[in-house]
Amino acid sequence: MADKVEFELVSPERLLLSRSVDMVVVPGAEGDFGVLRGHAPLISTLRLGVIDVHDAGGVSDRIFVAGGFAEVTAERCTVLAEQAVPVADLDRAGIEDEIRSLRDSLAVADGDAERGALAARIAVAEAKLAYA
């Protein structure tokens, strides 16, 4: 596996993915970046987006991530995601329902902190919808 990179995706609850792949494309805070073996060491924050795992000549996995960090060294790429859902598991109707109920609770929410938290959740859900 001379030209492979060890990719690990971890969420607070569990280890989601750990294997060697050809390339991963990570949605960094300042733009997507692809990680191949021999990448310069890098630590970056993530924005809402999708991680593309390239393996065996094509995209093998697409995983939606919301916030977190990526650590890249020459041999491995570790992503610590706050939320991670495989794109194939995103359910359009479910997310639309979620957005609707979040909007409803936003309408009756009081206090800036609560409102901010709800708005953040809506943003995450909307980003999910774009990929579903």
Q: What tokens appear for 107 in the block?
A: 């309408």
Give me the residues that bind another protein (CB under 8 A), please. 8, 10-15, 28-30, 40-45, 69, 71, 73-74, 78, 80, 82
CA 116 to chain centre: 21
Nearer to another protein among residue 21 and residue 68 (C-beta)? 68
From the list 79, 74, 88, 84, the residue with the least C-alpha distance to 28 is 79
From the list 69, 79, 66, the residue with the least C-alpha distance to 24 is 79
Smallest distance from the beta carbon of 18 to another protein, in angstroms? 8
Smallest distance from the beta carbon of 47 to another protein, in angstroms? 11
Do residues 22 and 56 touch, judged by C-beta distance below 8 A?
A: yes
Smallest distance from the beta carbon of 20 to another protein, in angstroms? 16
Smallest distance from the beta carbon of 57 to another protein, in angstroms? 28
Nearer to another protein among residue 31 and residue 57 (C-beta)? 31
Please report, for residues 1, 97, 101, the alpha-carbon distance to residue 47 in angstroms, rounded to integers and kept in the order given.
30, 23, 24
Nearer to another protein among residue 11 and residue 62 (C-beta)? 11
Nearer to another protein among residue 75 and residue 130 (C-beta)? 75
Residue 45 has, within 13 A of its CA and on its CB side, a CA count of 5
